[in-house]
Amino acid sequence: MKRIAVLASGRGSNFQAILDAIARGEINGECVALITDNKDVHAIELAKIADVPVVVINFGDYPDRTAFEADLLTAMHVINADLFVCAGYRRIIGVDIVREFVGKMINIHPALLPSFPGLYGQRQALEYGVKIAGCTVHFVDEGLDAGPIIVQRAVPVFDDDDEKSLDERILAQEHIAFPEAVALFCADRLIVSGRHVRILPEAP
């Protein structure tokens, strides 16, 4: 059984989706910690309900990003998870942390990468006029939303969509794709070769 830690900065809906999948037995792992950079986020309440330990490293308490990331790295070492899941974590992960946990961190992005990386993927998709949008779960590397892709799910873009309606449609797919990717990792079914992630067949 794998040790999973979740990094979150907001409401925690993807965090909850992963907790629910664990509870249903779909993920061969346990959530051993929630790490958050914001002491006021709703994800903390979700963790308390699920009896998941919470580590608060409040960004506003630090003089700069370097000091913040030093404590974050220390906390991640102490937690010693097999997988760190960035579920609505709104800060770019520093290079030192990425290098320390290469192959052990995944993120979800609300666009079909490599299109529309960075902030506001849904808005970028609408402004560009695409007909299909979606979400991507990928390994974290030193680039911005650039790591090897594990799972993608697509949604249609309608003529009357605004950012909110498209976000809701994509979020519903995030709640499916993210637990799926975590389950594949915890089942040792992911093989990374350069930019490619090969998904091994399920054991008989």
DSSP letters, 90-103, are -SPPPHHHHHHTTT
| φ, ψ of residue 159 in degrees (nearest 5) | -60, -30
Q: What's residue 172's pLDDT?
A: 98
Q: Which fold has domain 2-199?
A: Rossmann fold (3.40.50)
Q: What's residue 204's pLDDT?
A: 75
Q: Could you report the per-residue pLDDT of 39-84, keeping only the tens digit for each?
A: 999 999 999 999 999 999 999 999 999 999 999 999 999 999 999 9
Element (H, E) at 18: helix 13-23
Mean pLDDT of 124-142: 97
Q: What's residue 203's pLDDT?
A: 78
Q: Could you report the per-residue pLDDT of 149-194, keeping only the tens digit for each?
A: 999 999 999 999 999 999 999 999 999 999 999 999 999 999 999 9
175 among known catalytic residues: no
- Distance between CA atoms of residues 154 and 61, nearest Å: 39
Catalytic residue among 77, 109, 138, 196: 109
Q: Which is nearest to 6 in space by CA: 107, 157, 15?
A: 15
- Distance between CA atoms of residues 169 and 184, nearest Å: 23
Q: Could you report the per-residue pLDDT of 83-131, keeping only the tens digit for each?
A: 999 998 989 899 999 999 999 999 999 999 999 999 899 999 999 999 9
Q: Which is nearest to 119 in space by CA: 94, 145, 152, 98?
A: 145
| 8: β partners | 36
- Distance between CA atoms of residues 70 and 76, nearest Å: 10
Asked whether 9 and 42 are in contact (CB, 8 A), the reply is no
Which pair of structure tokens corresponds to residue 27? 């993920």
Mean pLDDT of 135-147: 96
Which pair of structure tokens corresponds to residue 55? 């580590």
pTM for the whole thing? 0.95
